[in-house]
Chains A and B, each alone.
Chain A
Amino acid sequence: MEIIVCLKQVVDPELPLREFVIDPATNRQVREGRPLVLSTYDEHALEVALQLKDRSGAKVTALTLAPRATIGDAVRLALAMGADEAVVVDDPRSPDLPGAVKARILAAAIRRIGRSDLVVCGCESADWVERVVAPLLAEELGAACVTFASRIESADGALVVRRQSEDGFHLIEARLPAVLSITSDETNRPRLPKVKDIIAAKRKPLQILPAADLATAAGETTADGVEVRSVAAPERTARCELLPGDPAEQAALLAQRLRELKLL
């Protein structure tokens, strides 16, 4: 089975709040000088792909859309965890592209890579959070689609996938080829790479494809006609009131406040 894992590098979402700055010129978070990591759910997607590889000997290709200069540890980590090779589509515009445009470029790259039975992505990116790449990739590739999948229960020519729902889960049968978006659960916690694999990852094939070389489909995407006018921290009418004192005093103050607010 040939599996492609779509990985996105994002600014570390765990950075302290003071490092979070929006650039009004691009309406995106400032990336300069901040460490890039694999988007949270993409790591889970990679883990799901690697578990399939462990079970049934699939080949796993890591696919990233990023400006060449920013390819850092994230891609190497994917190779260290066990991806067999990496393909980076080099597009200098890419960090700020809308998901629909990225899906189109990724679809072209996937067609170029050749046969793929299964494409997995994170269910949402840790930064722009549109949740559109997997469904739109499925449309572009004419593949079956299951989003918010947490586990692949079996894979014999077709997939049985566990999809998380509001109050439990659904078991979905999906035909191949399929595109899955992956959410986290106890069974897909990303593995730690072995130390020797971190070193060996440098020797694994890493192919750089200029985006301009891809036969990307023409025509409007769902992002056309949608303008991002601003990105701003939401208006907080009241700042947080930090309650002073030792724990007993803090608790007493809080109880009193809640009573004043008629919440008790």
Chain B
Amino acid sequence: MPGVLVIATAPEGTFSRSNLELVGGARALDRVLGAGVSAALLGGGGPLGAAIETLHQHGVPTVYCVDHPALGIGQADAFLVAAEAVARQAKPDLLLVGGDTVGREVAPRLAHRLGAALVTDCVELAVDAGAVVARRQVYGGRALAMHVVHRRPAVLSVKPRSLDAAEPAPVAGRVVDVTVAIDLAALPTRVREVQTEKAELGLEDAQTVVGGGRGLGGPDGFKILQELAQALGGAVGSSRPPADAGWVPISWQIGQTGKTVRPALYVAVGISGATQHVAGMAGSRTIVAINRDPEAPIFSVAHLGIVGDYREVVPALIAKVRELKGR
């Protein structure tokens, strides 16, 4: 059916909230385009009933369901085959794909196979005079590029945590089971192993995040940040250089290659803001930057700034925060 098709994934019984962000984005587009919203639910190795129900509860009437054991965590080639099969059957105008690890690999290849237009890692979607307008971050997060999509079909991959998740809006739903032949052994790539490193305190859900960068000078700098995070009741993350250098686990990394966070408060310490880190946290409601370099680009995205040495400022801040909270 025409309209917007959300590619929702549920490998091994999981159902990420980013699926609901896609639904939210699809419904927002549909309010103007009016051609309907449907979803492909691609999953396997776990029950999909609850996922289907969640989609119906959030305003998606038709769910094309592909339930196949090959659709496990990280199996990009399998998801690509399944997505293509549903797309050819449903013939949507627009396809929304989540910009997670697998989604980023699938979206361009899906667009290529469908002969569709493509915009990746969209942070905003809108409609203007019938054309889809997509914005995405460029130049390390320093600028937003506005793309206007004049062609259909079009594949849009969406950056996680950029769109608002759909509000509940129950509708009567139907399921279309789509049978897809996927021979795992014949796929060009296969997942051999999945390793998860538990992130500190659910970084992506924390309301306050303290991020550390190269300016900390070494892993020891993160100790004082953990104290600050504790005082503020939040989590600690990092920009790319500390993760690359092994000062902190990769799962702490916030940025275009890393996690996106949108807390109420983000405190950037020793982070220059010159790289793609900003892309991972620019959506934070209030951004505070502490940096020795007054020219650091982070000050152009921060709301409050301190030009100073974190080794002096942060301990003083921790003391003040504790004092104010103690009251």
Contact = CB atoms under 8 A, between A and B. Distances in A.
Touch A–B, Cβ below 8 Å: yes
Interface in A162-183: 163-175, 178, 183
Given A22-B143, A124-B257, A129 B276 contact: yes
Contact of A225 (B117, B208, B265, B307): B117
A242 B108 contact: no
A242 B195 contact: no
A238 B303 CA distance: 7
B38 interface: no
Interface residues of A, number: 85
A233 B143 contact: yes
Interface stretch (B42-50, B60-68, B148-156): B148-156
Given A228-B145, A229-B148, A232-B143, A172 B74 contact: yes
Contacts, number: 268
Interface residues of B, number: 96
Interface stretch (A10-18, A84-92, A192-200): A10-18
A126 to B, nearest CB: 7
B140 interface: yes
B88 interface: no
A156 to B, nearest CB: 14
Contact of B297 (A17, A228, A243): A17
B196 A168 contact: yes
Interface in B126-140: 133, 136-140
Interface string A245-264: 00110111011111101011
Contact of B304 (A169, A175, A254): A254
Contact of A242 (B76, B274, B275, B305): B305
Contacts of A263: 208, 264-265, 286
Contacts of A225: 117, 149-151, 154
B112 interface: yes
A233 B316 CA distance: 34
Given A132-B118, A222-B155, A247-B312, A173 B189 contact: yes
A144 B306 CA distance: 48
B192 A167 contact: no
A135 B312 CA distance: 46
Contacts of A145: 76-77, 105, 109, 188-189
A234 B245 CA distance: 31
A226 interface: yes
A32 interface: no
Given A14-B274, A242-B307, A148 B101 contact: yes
B-side interface mostly? mixed
A6 interface: no
A240 B108 CA distance: 37
Given A17-B295, A148-B257, A252-B320, A243 B146 contact: no
A94 interface: no
A127 interface: yes
Contact of B324 (A40, A136, A223, A264): A264
B192 A172 contact: yes
Interface in B142-179: 142-151, 154-155
A143 B149 CA distance: 28
A226 B265 contact: no
Contacts of B217: none
B195 A233 contact: no
12 contacts: A144-B189, A163-B74, A165-B101, A168-B196, A169-B250, A184-B240, A184-B257, A226-B117, A238-B303, A247-B309, A251-B319, A252-B320
Interface of B: 73-74, 76-77, 100-101, 104-105, 107-109, 111-113, 115-121, 133, 136-140, 142-151, 154-155, 188-199, 208, 232, 240, 244-246, 250-251, 256-257, 259, 264-265, 272, 274-276, 282, 286, 288-289, 295, 297, 299-309, 312-314, 316-317, 319-321, 323-325
Given A175-B189, A241-B304, A250-B316, 15 more contacts: A27-B145, A132-B120, A139-B108, A140-B112, A145-B105, A148-B104, A148-B257, A173-B191, A185-B244, A222-B118, A224-B151, A226-B154, A233-B300, A240-B299, A242-B306
